[in-house]
Amino acid sequence: MSPCCDSYLTHIDAQQVSWWGSSIIMMKTQIGLGVLSIPAAFDALGLIPGILSLLAIGGITLWSGYMVGTFKMRHPETYGIEDVGQKLFGRAGREVLGLAFALCGSLPYGNMVLQNTPELSMWTDEQQCGRASLAPVCWVSPSD
């Protein structure tokens, strides 16, 4: 077995993660997503306020992981955000939060496609070529 992240992540049982494990995973996700903006944030804030804000974000993420883990331990039948919506608000909550989750996944993808279309069509003045340049963007871009 290779030490690659993919092979490691296939062995994590998401149904049995404790609150501590959930906190670590959420903190890793938050820090991993924002790691490229840390130098700019430290440049704008300075060293001490930057460290304090990084610790505050880590604390908020740790608390969020604790809350999610506690909810999951009390309600093991829940798996996704739509299950939580159903528990809190019934069928309407399931549909609304499911739609919100789908939009959170698809709107950034659409934004990326719209940003790349002018860049790909700058080589020509034809509108049809600009639209045709969407095909490679949609084909190459990752989707869930």
Domain boundary among 76, 106, 129: 76
The reply to whether 86 and 141 lie within a common domain is yes
- For the chain, the straight-line distance linking the first and the last C-alpha, in angstroms and rounded, comes to 26
**Total structural domains in the chain?**
2
Domain boundary among 58, 76, 94: 76
Q: What is the pLDDT of residue 49?
A: 94
3-state secondary structure of 66: helix
The reply to whether 106 and 49 lie within a common domain is no
For 17, which DSSP code? -
Residue identified by tokens 């804030």 is 45
Count CB-CB contacts under 10 A for residue 72: 20
The reply to whether 70 and 114 lie within a common domain is no
pLDDT in tens, the chain (144 residues): 444 444 444 556 666 777 777 777 777 766 666 676 788 889 999 999 999 998 998 899 889 888 988 988 898 888 888 888 999 899 999 999 989 988 887 887 777 777 766 666 666 666 666 666 666 666 665 554
Domain containing 104 equals: 82-144
The reply to whether 91 and 130 lie within a common domain is yes
Q: What is the pTM of this model?
A: 0.51
Domain boundary among 54, 76, 98: 76
The reply to whether 21 and 66 lie within a common domain is yes
The reply to whether 60 and 86 lie within a common domain is no
3-state secondary structure of 109: helix
